[in-house]
Amino acid sequence: MPIIPVSGRDQTWAALTEESAYVFGVLEEGRVVQWYWGPRLPAEALSEVVSETPGWIKTGFLDPDDIAELLPVDGGRRWGVPALQAVYEGGVRSVELDFDEAVSGENSLELVLRDRAHGLRVGLHLRLRDDTDVLERWVSVTNESTAPVRLQRLDSGSWVIPEQAGAVFLGAAGGWAHETQLQRGELPVGETTFGSRTGTTSHKANPWIMIGDAGEDRGRVWTVALAWSGSWRMTTQRRPEGDIAVSAGFGHEGLIWPLAPGRTLRTPPALGLFTDGGYGEASAAWHAYARAHVLPTPGEVRPVLYNSWEATGFDVTEEGQLGLARRAADLGVELFVVDDGWFAGRTDDTRGLGDWHPDPDRFPDGLGRLFDGVRELGMQAGLWVEPEMVNPDSDLYRKNPDWVLHYPARRRDTMRNQLVLNFARDDVRAWALDWLDRLVREYGLAYLKWDMNRSFTQAGPGDLLWIDHTRGVYAVMDELRSRHPRLRIESCSGGGGRADFGILRRTDQVWTSDNTDARDRQPIQQGFSYLYPASVMSCWVTDSPNAVTQRSVPLRYRFHVAMAGTLGLGGDLRSWSTEELTEARSLIAAYKEVRQTVQHGRLHRLFGQPGVTASAVQYVLDSQVVVLAYHPYGLTKQPPRRVRLAGLDPSAVYCFDDTRVHGATLMNHGLALPTWFHTGEDYRSEMVVLRRV
Ligand code: DGJ
């Protein structure tokens, strides 16, 4: 896809994707402004969006252009949200950039700006890909002077969402055990900040926003997402005069990043997407982008896994795990993951983190026999690790107390009895890589669940660690994968605390939430689905009553909810009855028949509020259509009797059971749900699989 100069206009370009156009250019005083972002325009019309000024009336109090800038700086006539704040020697804060040059690459452009008096070079980068409407933007800042510069904010860029009547925002917010809950509403006039100060992406908010006046299958939607797994901020700025700006970047307020002479700081990408097809089309575009440009193994079908955490907790023994493994294998599980409790002294959460060798009491001969046993049962072997953490009660901490985030003469507050190892340090990363590499090699591991169970506190020395820790984690994962190309990694942070397009470059799936209650899971999964494809959404079927919520939900409903993502089991299979095991075996077999479509197909969120009212989701891939319908209530709240499908070929015929129906009928009149779906007890669910003939 091209980035072209706009004819008849100096220093003005248009980034054209199949569906969209993004027009921007340089004004006086080095201001780079966005002229237009929306549906694609004919080439000859592109110059028509460029006017004298993109903003409103200038007064003595406001220069409205700053809201339109790609990187509004703290300096000059600007009072909005700065995307770049620098403090030069002598306390000078006013950044004044001049446009220098445009450097074109293949499908990319860098606009180079310089603050000549202080030797700051700023690169505004834009890249397009051939097969997506997603625009990738990031910023690089280089100190070309001989004096240090301090950066107080450096966002990846600011985006303008054009004024639109009725526009609301949609985002995902929550907390531990209730991640990615959708929240929506009108953005207030003023500044609204979403973000995390925890050092991770966090449970509290997920780094994306959608803005528009849209429904699932109609309307204009603008989205900005940040590909970053540490602290982050996304600030919306709505002026009473009109447009909304969204500025997104890493770090949080108060951090000061020193930029030594000769050094460059580069931001993570902020991604922008416009679609005229509603939220459904926006999600489909993000999923396609993830598959094409983010995920390390997008073409693979994820195996059905078993995870031992809810069954055995810290009580991990060879015989106990093998007992679970035998049951799991018999059900059709393909990957067996031993979660926590396997390493030195780890009989509760007060000890062990940091001493990453099998517990000598429970595994005197190591884990070899256990994992050989797992493989003999026909499954791959996986293991839980938490490399960024250490318990003070560990040999590692006693030997290297300086390896943790800390300040001299400040407390080292523990949370879950643990401290954070500073992955910005070379020695810490080298240590982590060494034992992870050995572990994977020695036990032939196919899978690591990489967990991270606390937020940063007393995080010193130096504010750059807020960036470098995250990049350190990325680097260790990247190196580990390059040494073990068949290794797959699950990102976990107390459930879904680290799910984003940064971590997904080096992980294959995400542990969506520690809340495995099927009913609570439904809204969590729904929110997750807005950006991330079902292939990365790990979902386990666990015991009933649920360990977290104590709610009882039938096995079939639990399965059907988990089958909407990458299916796994996490219950204590030793306590499941013969009938339950039989039902589980057949549901796992049924999942294997549809998982290619669920994991890699086009998602349609058909109707309802998942977990609250009747609802249904649909996946389509090639000729297969999979519909999962849920109704959590009994007769008190009637579900619809038909569910209208989406995205089918209207003139094609689709068959299921012995029925043949046209796509047009299924999409307009609907697919009749079985009678028991409307008339039975609580928690009814159904999976219908159709095939285009
Ligand atoms: C938090 C994770 O989210 C759980 O799934 C489990 O792995 C525990 N940590 C183990 O300590």
DSSP annotation of 493 reads B
Choose the final residue of a domain: 293, 319, 354.
293
The pLDDT value recorded for residue 57 is 67
Does one domain contain both 195 and 314?
no
Structural domain includes residue 606:
no
Choose the final residue of a domain: 251, 272, 293.
293
User: Which residues are known catalytic residues?
Assistant: 451, 514
Query: What is the number of domains present in the chain?
Result: 3
pLDDT digits (tens, 9 = 90+) for 474-521: 999 999 999 999 999 999 999 999 999 999 999 999 999 999 999 999
Does one domain contain both 251 and 348?
no
Whichever domain contains 583, its CATH number is: 3.20.20.70
Q: Does residue 310 line the site of ligand 1, with CB under 6 A?
A: no
Q: Assess whether pLDDT exceeds 90 at residue 183.
A: yes
Does one domain contain both 287 and 310?
no
| Distance from residue 238's CA to the centre of ligand 1 (Å) | 40
Structural domain includes residue 361:
yes
Q: From the alpha carbon of 492, which atom of ligand 1 is closest?
A: 3
Q: Does residue 453 line the site of ligand 1, with CB under 6 A?
A: yes
The residue among 139 and 680 whose pLDDT is bigger is: 139
The residue among 263 and 63 whose pLDDT is bigger is: 263
Q: Does residue 514 line the site of ligand 1, with CB under 6 A?
A: yes
Does one domain contain both 268 and 349?
no
Q: Does residue 65 line the site of ligand 1, with CB under 6 A?
A: no
3-class DSSP string for 402-435: HHECCCCCCCCCCECCEEEECCCCHHHHHHHHHH
Q: How far apart are CA 73 and CA 86, in angstroms?
A: 8
Structural domain includes residue 643:
yes
Structural domain includes residue 583:
yes
Structural domain includes residue 300:
no
Residue with tokens 């020395």: 461
Which stretch of 161-165, 286-290, 442-446, 553-557 has the lowest confidence by average pLDDT?
A: 161-165
pLDDT digits (tens, 9 = 90+) for 381-425: 999 999 999 999 999 999 999 999 999 999 999 999 999 999 999
Does one domain contain both 206 and 230?
yes
Does one domain contain both 309 and 287?
no
The residue among 240 and 410 whose pLDDT is bigger is: 410
Does one domain contain both 510 and 585?
yes
| Distance from residue 385's CA to the centre of ligand 1 (Å) | 10
Backbone angles phi, psi at 443, to 5 degrees: -105, 10
The closest alpha carbon to 415, from 353, 343, 478, 365, belongs to: 353
Structural domain includes residue 276:
yes
Cα torsion 611, 615, 621, 623: sign: positive
Query: Which residue, by CA, sits nearest to atom 11 of ligand 1?
Result: 340
Choose the final residue of a domain: 270, 293, 316.
293
How would you class 393 by CB atoms within 10 Å of its CB: exposed for 0-12, middle for 13-18, buried for 19 or more?
Answer: middle
Does one domain contain both 12 and 156?
yes
Does one domain contain both 319 and 280?
no
Structural domain includes residue 613:
no
Does one domain contain both 267 and 128?
yes
pTM beyond 0.95, yes or no: yes
Domain extent, residue 375, equals: 305-600
The pLDDT value recorded for residue 357 is 97
Query: Which residue, by CA, sits nearest to atom 6 of ligand 1?
Result: 309
Q: Is the CB of residue 164 less than 8 Å from the CB of residue 274?
A: no
Does one domain contain both 533 and 637?
no
Does one domain contain both 282 and 391?
no
The pLDDT value recorded for residue 56 is 59
Whichever domain contains 651, its CATH number is: 2.60.40.1180
Structural domain includes residue 608:
no
Q: Assess whether pLDDT exceeds 70 at residue 53.
A: no
pLDDT digits (tens, 9 = 90+) for 641-677: 899 999 999 999 999 999 999 999 999 999 998 877 7
Query: Which residue, by CA, sits nearest to atom 7 of ligand 1?
Result: 339
Whichever domain contains 53, its CATH number is: 2.70.98.60
